[in-house]
Amino acid sequence: MRIKIINPNTTLSMTKNIQLAGQKFVSPDTEVFAVSPSTGPASIESYYDEYLAVPGVIEEILKGDKEEKIDAYVIACFGDPGLYAAREVTDKPVVGIAEAAITVSKFLAPNFSIVSVLDRSRKMSEEMVRMHGAEDRCKSIRSTGLSVLEFDRNLEKGLKALSEVSLKAVEEDGAESILLGCAGFVSFVDDLQERLGVPVLDGVSPAVKLAEILVSMGCRTSKFLTWGYPENKQIIGYENITSLQNTRV
């Protein structure tokens, strides 16, 4: 089985860490690799960033289907950018990491808090919580005030900031599990879990495992209506995408 992780931003050092996290718990016969798209922003912290990242994500999925014999995809950014579009262009399972972290936490704890990067991304995390049906479960969303790239540059400082806000989430907000709200946090899971005494989840490892079982059960995305292949029509620009595309005739 081949699972392709798409880090929707173009910072390759993050892509490498994400690949390690994706491989952490994987079955022996599963091949996991992570890529960054050929276009897009160095990190995703605004709606603007997100929309400029998605075409690259779509391209990587189409390429995966046409050229790489991929069995399932993971979108490795906590905003799950382009998740529904991805499900339209392929019938292979696609899993987002916000989706995966929220999903797995529901089995382990009655509630969670999300600890994240900049304050401005808070609304995106709220949208993830709502999109994945966890409004009753989310105790709080706390941010460290550090940007995605600051984390990437200074892991130690990042870990310290994450520890502090996570501890507040547990002690003041009553969180019984912690979700790491950025794919750049994958290296901190074990450290944090030990310090906090509650389950700590990054989304990447769970997403890969979820993708694995969807494949092993033979699951395909429902093409019945909403996530059917896009209608065939003229598209200007995006030749890299349209040349790869499957459409509903």
Considering only residues 174 to 233 of the shown chain, the ones binding a copy of itself according to CB under 8 A are: 174, 176-177, 197-199, 205-206, 209-210, 212-214, 216-222, 224-228, 230-231, 233
CB of 130 to a copy of itself, least distance (A): 9
CB of 222 to a copy of itself, least distance (A): 4
> Measured from the CB atom, is 33 or 47 closer to a copy of itself?
47
Binding residue for a copy of itself, selected from 13, 25, 145, 243, defined by CB under 8 A: 25
On whether the CB atoms of residues 116 and 122 are closer than 8 A, the answer is yes
> Measured from the CB atom, is 118 or 155 closer to a copy of itself?
118
- Contacting range for a copy of itself; rule: CB under 8 A; set: 63-71, 159-167, 179-187, 237-245: 237-245
- Long-range interactions of 21-24: CB distance < 8 A, separation 24+: 21/186, 21/187, 21/189, 21/202, 21/204, 21/205, 22/74, 22/76, 22/204, 22/205, 22/207, 22/208, 23/208, 24/205
Beta bridge partners of 138: 112
- According to CB under 8 A, which residues from 37 to 96 bind a copy of itself? 38-43, 45-52, 54-56, 58, 82, 84-85, 87-89, 93-95
DSSP 71-121: SEEEE-STT-TTHHHHHHH-SS-EEEHHHHHHHHHHHH-S-EEEEES-GGG
Q: Does 249 interact with a copy of itself (rule: CB under 8 A)?
A: no
CB of 236 to a copy of itself, least distance (A): 5
- According to CB under 8 A, which residues from 133 to 152 bind a copy of itself? 133-137, 147, 149
Q: In what order do the strands lie in the sheet with 178-180?
A: 138-143, 112-116, 178-180, 200-201
Provide CB contacts within 8 A for 232, sequence distance 6+. 247, 248, 249
On whether the CB atoms of residues 117 and 137 are closer than 8 A, the answer is no
Beta bridge partners of 32: 3
CB of 7 to a copy of itself, least distance (A): 13
> Measured from the CB atom, is 69 or 233 closer to a copy of itself?
233
CB of 47 to a copy of itself, least distance (A): 4
- In degrees, rounded to 5, the angle at the alpha carbon of residue 222 between the alpha carbons of residues 231 and 106 is 130
CB of 188 to a copy of itself, least distance (A): 16
Binding residue for a copy of itself, selected from 67, 69, 194, 234, defined by CB under 8 A: 234
Q: Does 238 interact with a copy of itself (rule: CB under 8 A)?
A: yes
Q: Does 107 interact with a copy of itself (rule: CB under 8 A)?
A: yes
On whether the CB atoms of residues 78 and 9 are closer than 8 A, the answer is no
